[in-house]
Amino acid sequence: MGIEIERKFLVKDASWKAMAGEGLVCRQGYLCSSGGRTVRIRVLGDQAFLTIKGPSTGISRDEFEYEIPMGDAEAMLKLCDGLVEKTRYLLIHAALQWELDVFAGANTGLIMAEIELNSEAQPIDLPSWAGLEVTGDKRYYNAYLAQHPFSQWG
């Protein structure tokens, strides 16, 4: 069983681009999202994944992820209500890997960065482009964004 421990931040400027390589296009949808549990289908570049996440406890939650055939993922994405589209960039800052997502489609305008940690107490050195921390704010969960796109927020 895997445990995901992550923190999320809004991105406040474009200075991250100097560190970024080529991004990977990502499409993901949710087959189930209730009670803090999600079942996600993700196509990231030329790979596809089925991911099951449990409810959050602090900044941690159970996570099970399995690579699946691309054809299966494409068929399952058609079963989802709402998709999240984004380009993901991997960046290294202070010897830690950050995932920076530039959202597209109905979530255009949202840029968010996440960092996965080894423990909830692990200290991090924030990059200059990291803005407001949104860890735990359910509006910034991708499952929420699939149903309530950023472009529709008031």
Q: Which residue stretches of 92-153 are H helix? A: 142-147
Rounded Cα gap, residues 135 and 154, in angstroms: 20
Residue 90: closest CA among 31, 5, 19: 19
Residue 130: closest CA among 118, 104, 112, 145: 112
Question: For this structure, is 89 an active site residue?
Answer: no
Buried b (16+ CB within 10 A) or exposed e, 71-80: eebeebbeeb
> Which residues does the annotation mark as catalytic?
30
